[in-house]
Amino acid sequence: MLQIGKQVPDFELVNQDGQPVRMRALRGKKVVIFAFPKASSITCTRQACAFRDEFPHISAHNAVILGVGADNPEALRQWKRNHHLPYDLLCDTDRRMLETWGAWGGFDVKQLIGFPPIKRSYWVIDENGVLLDQQIGVGARESMEHAVRKLAQVGV
């Protein structure tokens, strides 16, 4: 798990269109990242749509939203299109970012029906790449609510 008040590790992942997105390139903007277990599942869609609904408010204040999962780009592209998600969805198929950031691992009964062991999580990062808040293992709706609350505390 990452430490609040410390720089977050850099990563580069491809988005739903196969384009690289690098954490370091987002310096100068606040960043909200949320991890989801499986694109297009009911609960993950609830989580993604909660962030979608807050997108205008968050982006108007120099902040970016990114979703991260282990699905392939095509699955993420379809999910983004079907639910009109206005932010990038990133593919961490080798799980390096999710492991480093503390959201991969452990047993969940959903693994028995094909879900990867991703802990629904969120991170809020400031313009300098410093971690302001995180929660590993959070409810779908709560991930957005907690992240937005933290952004409000820092001026969003």
Q: Which of 21, 44, 76, 103 is catalytic?
A: 44
* pLDDT for residue 139: 80
H or E segment to which residue 99 belongs? helix 96-100
| Domain residue limits, the chain | 12-153
* pLDDT for residue 156: 54
Backbone angles phi and psi of 118, in degrees to 5: -95, 130
* pLDDT for residue 36: 94
* pLDDT averaged per 10 residues in sequence order, the chain, 156 residues: 95 98 97 94 93 92 94 98 98 94 69 62 96 90 86 78
* pLDDT for residue 111: 41
91 is a catalytic site residue: no
Tokens for 29, please give them.
Answer: 């903007």
What angle separates helix 140-153 from helix 42-59, to the nearest 10 degrees?
A: 20
User: For domain 12-153, which CATH number applies: 3.90.226.10, 3.30.420.40, 3.30.230.10, 3.40.30.10?
Assistant: 3.40.30.10
